Amino acid sequence: MSKNILSTPREDGFRMPGEFEKHEGCWMIWPERTDNWRLGAKPAQAAFIEVAKVISKYEPVTMCVSDKQYNVARELLPSDIRVIEVSSDDAWMRDVGPTFVINDTGDLRAVDWRFNAWGGLLDGLYFPWDKDDKIARKVANVENLDYYKLESFILEGGSIHVDGEGTCIVTEACLLDESRNPDLSKEEIETYLKDYLNVSKIIWLKNGIYLDETNEHVDNIIHYCAPGVVALAWTDDETDPQYDYSKAAYEILSNEMDSKGRCIEVVKLHIPDHVIVTKEEADGVDSVDGTLPRMEGDRQAASYANFYIANGAIILPIFGDEKHDKLAAEILQTVFPDRVIETIYAREIILGGGNIHCITQQQPDRRE
C-alpha cells in the first residue's frame, strides 16, 4: 500500500527527471466545469480527447473523470486510454497532479505539494479547491507509490521546470507572489525546491507570459528541452509588454550556468498573434461568483512553449496563426530531430487559461 514518507527525495536519493527522459505514461483530467469551459465544456472536451489520442500513440494515457461524466468520457475516449473515476475541481493535471521522482535503482515515488487554486482566497481562480488538492495522493494510491506529502508548502507543477541533472527554473512572479507561501523567504523556498526535486541550482526568471492568470507559470514561457537547452517564448514586438519579459528571461538564461556549470542554449519560439476572446466565446462561459470571468476582448496567454514532450513526439499547441505556428513546429523539429512534431489546434484549451503542458503530467519510466 502506498504510504506517506516523512523524509525528502533529496535525503532518499530520488530526483525529478527531465520531461525529455522516458515516460511510463501520461495523466490528464477531463474538463467539465462550465464556469471555465464554454458551451458546457464540450469544445474543451473535444480538444482534450485530441490531446489524449495523440499522446496515446506514444505512451499510455490515463484520464481522471468525475462520476458524473464517467460514462460520457469512457464512451468518447478510445479503449486504449485508461479512464478512472477521480473527483477534481478542474482539469489542470500539471498543477494538481504529483511531481514524480525516481532513483537509480528503478523506484518511483510522488511528491504531493499543497494546492490553493493559484492563489487561495487572495488571488485564486476558483473556490473551493479541496478535490484538486487530493489528486496527487490519489494518483500515487492508484499507482501504489509512496509519496512525500508537504503539509503547507504551496506549489503547482507548472511553476517548475527541471533538467533532471540538478537545475530548476522558476519565475519570481509566481513563486514569490504573496498568494503562495508568504511566510517563506526566497532562500527558504529554494530549500524546499532543492529538497523535494533534488536540485542544487535554481534559476529565477522575473516573469512569465504577460497576463498569465497563474501569476506567470514558468511552463508557459520556457521549456527544458534537454540538459543545457531551453526553449523560450519570444516576441520581436518591442511595444508588447511581453517583449521586456522575454528579453529579461533571455538575458538571465544566457548569462547563468546550470548546476553542471554549462552555459544554456536558448531557442526562441516567437509567440502567436494575440489570441483574443470573442463575444461568442465569452458568452458561452457560465458566470459564477468566485471564478475568474472570461470577458470579450481579453488577451489569452498564448505561447508555443507550453508543449508536452511525449516518448518520441512533441505535442505542440497551435493557434491558427499560420506563420508562427509553422515556425514553431520547424524550430522544435530541429531541437528534437528524433521526435515527431504533432500539432493540435489549442484555442479551446487556452480559452480555459492554460495549454497542453498544463493539462498533462508525465509519469517517468522507472526502469531506464
Instruction: Say if CB 313 and CB 202 are below 8 A apart.
Output: no
Name the minimum Å distance from CB 350 to ligand KQY: 9
Strands 299-300 and 275-276: antiparallel
Per-residue contact string for residues 47-86; x = within reach of ligand KQY by CB under 6 A: ----------------------------------------
What single string gives the DSSP state of each residue in 36-95? TSTGGGHHHHHHHHHHHHHHHTTS-EEEEE-TTTHHHHHHHS-TTSEEEE---SSS-HHH
Name the minimum Å distance from CB 108 to ligand KQY: 23
Name the minimum Å distance from CB 107 to ligand KQY: 28
Spatial separation of the C-alpha atoms in residues 98 and 321, rounded to whole Å: 34
- Sole binder of ligand KQY in the list 167, 198, 214, 300 (CB under 6 A): 214
Q: In which region does residue 120 sit, left (phi positive, over 0), alpha (psi from -120 to 50) or beta (all else)?
A: left
Q: Long-range pairs for 261-265 at CB < 8 Å and ≥24 separation?
A: 262/227, 262/228, 263/228, 264/228, 264/229, 264/230, 265/228, 265/229, 265/230
Q: Per CB under 6 A, does 292 bind ligand KQY?
A: yes
User: HSE (CB half, 13 Å, CA atoms) of 86?
Assistant: 30
- How many residues in the shown chain lie near ligand KQY by CB under 6 A? 15
Nearer to ligand KQY, 43 or 353 (CB): 353
Q: Per CB under 6 A, does 217 bind ligand KQY?
A: yes
Nearer to ligand KQY, 44 or 52 (CB): 44
The residue behind cell 511595444 is 239
Which candidate in 64, 168, 174, 358 is catalytic? Answer: 358
- Sole binder of ligand KQY in the list 83, 93, 358, 361 (CB under 6 A): 358
- Sole binder of ligand KQY in the list 119, 227, 352, 364 (CB under 6 A): 352
Catalytic residue positions? 358
Question: Where along the sequence are the contacts to ligand KQY (CB under 6 A)?
Answer: 36, 90, 92, 94-95, 125, 158, 213-214, 217, 292, 352-354, 358
